[in-house]
Structure formats: C-alpha cells, structure tokens
C-alpha cells in the first residue's frame, strides 16, 4: 500500500516533526524523501515542476496528485485526513473550537516562527550577517508573543493553569505552538526570559512529555543563555 504522503525537507526540521506527530495520531504513514539536499534537490527541474517556489517542507500525496507547501497548510491537511481529525481540529459543527485552534496555529506561524527565524539565521546558522537592531526587534516581539501565551495558559491571575490551549485534549494548536517553541527554548528563550513565563514553561514541559509528541521530537532542552551573534 502506498504511503499517505512524502515530505521533502532537511533533517530535523521542526515543521516536519510536527507532521509526523499528526500523522501518527491519525494512523497515517508519512515518509521523508531520501537523499534530500537543501539548495540542490529543491532546485532541480523535477522538484520545481511540482513545487515552483522550491520551498520546504513540501508535501506530495501518496498517489502523486496533490502537492503542497507552507508548513501550516500541510499540517492542517494531515490533521484533517484521519480518524482523529475532530480532536485535532474540532468537530465540524463546533465552529468556536475550530476557530480557536486555527487562531493558535496562525499564532505559531506568524508570531513564534516569524520572530524566531531571523535569530536562527543570524546566530545559529550564520546565514545572514548579525544585526543588533534587527535581533533586538525580534527578541522583543518574541517576548510580547510569549506574554500573550503566558496569559492564555495561566488564566486570570495565574490561578488555573491550562494543560492544552483549546479544550481538554491535544489539538493542532498545541502541536503547532509547542513544535516551534521547543526549538526557541534551545536558542532564544533563556533562563532570564523564562523567569516571567512560568506558565509557558510548565505548559511546554507538559506537552513535550506526552507520548504523542515524543514519537517525533527529541527531549526538551532549556538554554541558560540565548545564542547571540558577534
């Protein structure tokens, strides 16, 4: 039987690890394309014929009829393609839950990923020159975003901690948010930042300890001092 789909990307891409969590929850077989090389494979005519922008992660359905890019869109497709779809996205009739799940998925992409990526490129991968002003801007934006997450998971006055962002079970919202946040805690969200984010730290630890997340993700690491360029 053909796999549900194949993913093209570089090793240990957290966007792909999230897909493997969702696929496992839905009993779907998701393959990683073998021998993929960034800057090589995704520039070939064969790859660009399927994915014209050459972006990764890229998803190809098992029958070869569907080609997707954009990590959030792929994650939603995998989440909606199996028996746990109602848990991961909300019941089709429950528009409120579905909207909340979508809100947090967008938050993961537009706030957490968008402000982590420049720091990674400057400080970890050294792919762009370090710019102190730009770096400070994205760190401040990250702190603001995590402040909103802290309020959401801690509840009014921090009295009632939430295990999950939406409802009482793991959803796409948690997979998206925790998936990127576990990388941020390795390089950006250091001990000093975490002092004012006890709810976020407890939430992340709880999510990453779930067997569903441990299927794909390595153990959580919390940096003491954030990575910074020279």
The answer, yes or no, to whether residue 113 has pLDDT greater than 70, is yes
Task: Count CB neighbours of 127 within 10 A.
Answer: 8
Q: What number of CA atoms fall less than 13 Å from residue 55's CA on the CB side?
A: 8
Kindly state the tokens that stand for 79. Answer: 């989440």
The answer, yes or no, to whether residue 34 has pLDDT greater than 80, is yes
Q: What domains lie within the chain, and their CATH numbers?
A: 5-83 (3.40.30.10), 92-214 (1.20.1050.10)
The answer, yes or no, to whether residue 158 has pLDDT greater than 70, is no
Mean pLDDT of 126-146: 93
Element (H, E) at 67: strand 67-69
Each residue's pLDDT tens digit, 37-50: 999 999 999 999 99
| pTM for the full predicted model | 0.96
What pLDDT does 1 receive? 64
Mean pLDDT of 121-140: 90
What is the DSSP-derived secondary structure letter of residue 125? S
Least confident piece of the model among 52-61, 136-145, 148-157, 198-207: 148-157
DSSP 39-55: TTGGGSHHHHHH-TT--
Cα separation of 186 and 208, whole Å? Answer: 14
The answer, yes or no, to whether residue 160 has pLDDT greater than 80, is no
Each residue's pLDDT tens digit, 65-97: 999 999 999 999 999 999 999 999 999 999 999
Mean pLDDT of 104-122: 96
> Whole-number mean pLDDT of the chain?
95
Mean pLDDT of 3-11: 96
């Amino acid at each position: 039987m053909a796999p549900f789909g194949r993913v093209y990307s570089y090793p240990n891409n957290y966007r792909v690890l999230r897909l493997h969590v969702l696929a496992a929850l839905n009993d779907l077989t998701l393959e990683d394309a073998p021998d993929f090389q960034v800057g090589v494979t995704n520039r070939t005519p064969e790859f660009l014929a399927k994915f014209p922008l050459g972006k990764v992660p890229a998803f190809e359905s098992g029958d070869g009829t569907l080609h997707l890019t954009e990590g959030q869109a792929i994650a939603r497709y995998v989440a909606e393609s199996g028996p746990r779809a109602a848990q991961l996205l909300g019941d089709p009739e429950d528009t409120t839950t579905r909207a909340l799940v979508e809100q947090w998925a967008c938050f993961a992409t537009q706030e957490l990923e968008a402000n982590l990526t420049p720091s990674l490129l400057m400080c970890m991968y050294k792919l762009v020159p370090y710019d102190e002003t730009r770096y400070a801007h994205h760190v401040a934006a990250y702190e603001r975003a995590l402040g909103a997450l802290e309020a959401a998971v801690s509840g009014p006055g921090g009295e009632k901690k939430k295990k999950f962002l939406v409802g009482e079970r793991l959803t796409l919202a948690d997979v998206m948010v925790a998936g990127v946040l576990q990388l941020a805690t390795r390089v950006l969200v250091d001990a000093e930042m975490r002092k004012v984010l006890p709810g976020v730290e407890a939430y992340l630890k709880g999510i990453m300890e779930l067997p569903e997340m441990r299927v794909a993700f390595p153990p959580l690491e919390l940096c003491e001092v954030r990575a910074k360029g020279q």
